[in-house]
């Protein structure tokens, strides 16, 4: 009997020279799930947990929990979930407990699964009238702006891959999101905070004393709430829930400093709380149990950080570090809090290296590498051509060496994105890797990329997915709260130097309803934002901020407003059109795998 590798070689050698659509032997790869990941789903069964005598946590309705504090004179809602429809169900559950009015909402940090469902609990009018306060860290709004406006296009696509947004129902069976049930894709709601603080805030709300503390960790604006009377600690995502914390998120984020995160966990330990209410996963009761979870979590993060730095200082690079740094059994086996359902040691190690040293690993060959397609062409030629590369990839696949099969077939795809056999091998390899993965982020990226390779996720579908995901980061409610400055700052990274290299123009913007003036100066491919309109500026648009909100949402445009009288124009309309032509606001489909 021939070994599998020999069978693959014979099949491929017979078909490759004859037809460009040759494929591996037929194989049905059925959807499956890592058994431990499937078991983890039970952790998120829907339930409202009562903690002490006046705190409730709704677990299992959506990715993030919603907590409710019943104060003497009303309710305090801690986080609002990502979905208004699911949060309304939660509020209905809370209403079975109490009919007291909502007096305050707390955003523990700026991520969509903690703020997007706010209008399920309160209205804009209640907040505007002062009936309800919204409390957050002083930087929350700026973080919402940066997330939605600055890197929204790429973040939306990458988030779609991280959360498996386009996967079919079969790939979602028995699944969870590592830190909660699968997220609900829904347009977001938002109401801006009315009370913010920097480091800490001790206050009284609805007749109850509360302590707030800024504890940067999973997010830079993370805050926790402590109820001293009954020793309840609402720990937000400092304690991320039933998983190894995501020291880095694959969808993309700024550096999450593990040292700062560990310090924040130690601040939580200092409370010696009797009860802990994370905003992902189940609450923990008993002082010793709370201490254990916090201590083990901080030790897991600290171990990954410390050992990464230790081996960095011996010269190891990221590809070497991920093989060297591994959690010891007493940490790796601490279920569920240090199991790799959401974060992994390997992608955390890479982030720590880049956070300290950046992308350059010390070999000057990386300073000016060959372009990826040129490199692939040379390597494929060196290996004997496409047929031999794909024969080797087919051998690797049949031997179960799926990573190597994917890497080899990737070289052929670099040379021809439409190579059917190369795409088939890589897609099958990703499906095998994805279905075996216990980590939800890795699983989703493998399976989404497989769909892209299989032609089940074309440019238009990716664009539609991105627009759907974008609504979670940038809704009409959020846009209304954005300062005019944010809209104009977004133009800076949109300048097209091919169109602007010979342009030197300044366009002023006057917003009489808010008493602000700004100007954008195009200076041969570079754009500078000015507060105020520089003397001598001949081009100016005058419009209300309320009209600008409709421009930001896409309902209207500046030129349309000029023609209809909503925007007053000073100066040459032709020059203004030339100015506007310097910017690229198109959003072409983004391919993450077929490159």
The residue-averaged pLDDT of 532-540 equals: 96
List, by residue range, all CATH 3.30.1050.10 domains of the chain.
Answer: 483-580
User: Which residue in the block uniquely carries the two structure tokens 């559950």?
Assistant: 93
**Per the structure block, which two tokens stand in for 116?**
């997007």
pLDDT score of 470: 75
Q: Among 157, 253, 163, 155, which residue's Cα sits nearest to residue 444?
A: 163
pLDDT score of 11: 44
**Window from 149-153, 393-397, 588-592 with minimum mean pLDDT:** 149-153
The residue-averaged pLDDT of 125-132 equals: 97
pLDDT tens digits, residue range 389-419?
A: 999 999 999 999 999 999 999 999 999 999 9
pLDDT tens digits, residue range 27-51?
A: 889 999 999 999 999 999 999 999 9
CATH numeric code, 4-32+367-469: 1.25.40.880
pLDDT score of 440: 97
List, by residue range, all CATH 3.60.15.30 domains of the chain.
Answer: 35-357
The residue-averaged pLDDT of 183-202 equals: 92
The CB-side HSE value for 120 (13 A sphere, CA atoms) comes to 27
Higher pLDDT, 595 or 451: 451
pLDDT for residue 111 is more than 70: yes
pLDDT score of 16: 45
List, by residue range, all CATH 1.25.40.880 domains of the chain.
Answer: 4-32+367-469
Q: What span, in angstroms and rounded, lies between the C-alpha atoms of 56 and 58?
A: 7
pLDDT score of 471: 73
Q: Would you place residue 64 in the very low, low, confident or very high pLDDT band (cuts 50, 70, 90)?
A: very high
pLDDT score of 3: 42
Which helix (H) or strand (E) segment holds residue 136: the answer is strand 133-137
Q: Would you place residue 331 in the very low, low, confident or very high pLDDT band (cuts 50, 70, 90)?
A: very high
CATH number belonging to the domain at 483-580, selected among 3.30.1360.120, 1.20.1530.20, 3.50.50.60, 3.30.1050.10: 3.30.1050.10
Q: Topology of domain 35-357, per CATH?
A: Metallo-beta-lactamase; Chain A (3.60.15)
pLDDT score of 4: 43
Which helix (H) or strand (E) segment holds residue 57: the answer is strand 55-59
pLDDT tens digits, residue range 333-371?
A: 999 999 999 999 999 999 999 999 999 999 999 999 999
The residue-averaged pLDDT of 455-460 equals: 84
The residue-averaged pLDDT of 231-255 equals: 95
pLDDT tens digits, residue range 370-392?
A: 999 999 999 999 999 999 999 99
Strands 275-278 and 232-236: parallel
pLDDT score of 96: 98
> How is the chain split among helix, strand and coil, in percent rounded to 5?
45, 15, 40
Q: Would you place residue 177 in the very low, low, confident or very high pLDDT band (cuts 50, 70, 90)?
A: very high
Which residues partner with 519 through β-bridges? 508, 530
Is residue 161 classed exposed, middle or buried when 0-12, 13-18 and 19+ CB atoms within 10 A define those classes?
buried
Q: Tally Cβ neighbours within 10 Å of residue 536.
A: 6
- Is the CB of residue 36 less than 8 Å from the CB of residue 339? yes
Q: Tally Cβ neighbours within 10 Å of residue 509.
A: 23
pLDDT for residue 124 is more than 80: yes
């Amino acid at each position: 009997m021939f070994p599998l590798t020999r069978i693959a070689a014979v099949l491929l050698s017979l078909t490759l020279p004859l037809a460009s659509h040759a494929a591996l032997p037929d194989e049905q790869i059925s959807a499956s799930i890592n058994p431990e990941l499937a078991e983890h789903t039970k952790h998120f069964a829907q339930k409202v947990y009562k903690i002490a005598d006046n705190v409730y946590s709704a677990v299992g309705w959506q990715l993030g929990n919603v907590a409710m504090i019943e104060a003497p004179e009303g309710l305090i809602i801690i986080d609002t979930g990502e979905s208004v429809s699911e949060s309304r169900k939660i509020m209905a559950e809370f209403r079975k407990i109490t009919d007291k009015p909502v007096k305050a909402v707390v955003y523990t940090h700026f991520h969509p699964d903690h703020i997007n469902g706010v209008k399920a609990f309160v209205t804009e009018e209640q907040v505007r009238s002062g009936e309800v306060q919204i409390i957050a860290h002083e930087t929350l709004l700026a973080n919402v702006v940066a997330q939605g406006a600055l890197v929204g296009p790429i973040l939306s696509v990458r988030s779609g891959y991280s959360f498996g947004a386009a996967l079919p129902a079969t790939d979602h069976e028995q699944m969870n999101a590592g830190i909660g049930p699968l997220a609900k894709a829904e347009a977001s709601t938002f109401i801006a905070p009315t009370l913010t603080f920097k480091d800490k805030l001790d206050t009284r709300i609805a007749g109850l004393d509360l302590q707030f503390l800024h504890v940067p960790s999973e997010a830079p604006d993370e805050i926790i709430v402590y109820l001293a009377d009954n020793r309840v600690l609402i720990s937000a995502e400092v304690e991320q829930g039933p998983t190894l914390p995501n020291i880095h998120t694959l969808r993309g984020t700024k550096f999450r400093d593990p040292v700062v995160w560990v310090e924040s966990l130690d601040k939580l330990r200092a409370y010696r709380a009797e009860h802990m209410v994370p905003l992902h996963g189940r609450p923990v009761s008993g002082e010793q149990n709370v201490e254990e979870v916090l201590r083990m979590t901080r030790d897991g993060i600290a171990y990954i950080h410390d050992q990464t730095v230790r081996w960095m200082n011996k010269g190891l690079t990221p590809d070497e570090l991920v093989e060297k740094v591994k959690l010891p059994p007493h940490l790796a086996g601490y279920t569920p809090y240090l199991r790799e359902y959401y974060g992994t040691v390997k992608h955390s190690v890479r982030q720590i290296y880049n956070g300290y040293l950046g992308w350059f690993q010390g070999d000057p060959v990386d300073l000016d590498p060959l372009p990826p397609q040129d490199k692939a062409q040379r390597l494929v030629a060196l290996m004997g051509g496409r047929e031999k590369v794909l024969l080797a990839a087919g051998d690797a696949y049949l031997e179960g060496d799926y990573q190597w099969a994917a890497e080899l077939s990737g070289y052929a795809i670099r040379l021809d994105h439409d190579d059917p056999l190369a795409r088939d091998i890589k897609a099958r390899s990703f499906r095998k890797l994805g279905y075996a993965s216990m980590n939800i982020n890795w699983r989703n990226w493998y399976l989404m990329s497989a769909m892209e390779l299989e032609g089940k996720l074309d440019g238009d579908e990716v664009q539609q997915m991105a627009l759907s995901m974008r609504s979670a980061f940038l809704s009409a409610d959020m846009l209304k709260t954005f300062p005019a400055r944010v809209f104009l700052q977004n133009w800076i990274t949109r300048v097209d130097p091919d169109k602007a290299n010979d342009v030197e123009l300044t366009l002023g913007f006057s917003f009489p309803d808010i008493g602000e003036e700004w100007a954008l100066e195009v200076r041969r491919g570079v754009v500078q934002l000015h507060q105020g309109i520089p003397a001598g500026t001949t081009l100016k648009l005058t419009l209300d901020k309320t009209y600008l909100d409709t421009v930001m949402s896409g309902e209207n445009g500046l030129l349309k407003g000029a023609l209809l009288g909503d925007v007053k124009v000073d100066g040459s309309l032709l020059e203004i059109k030339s100015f506007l032509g310097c910017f690229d606001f198109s959003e072409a489909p983004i391919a993450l795998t077929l490159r």
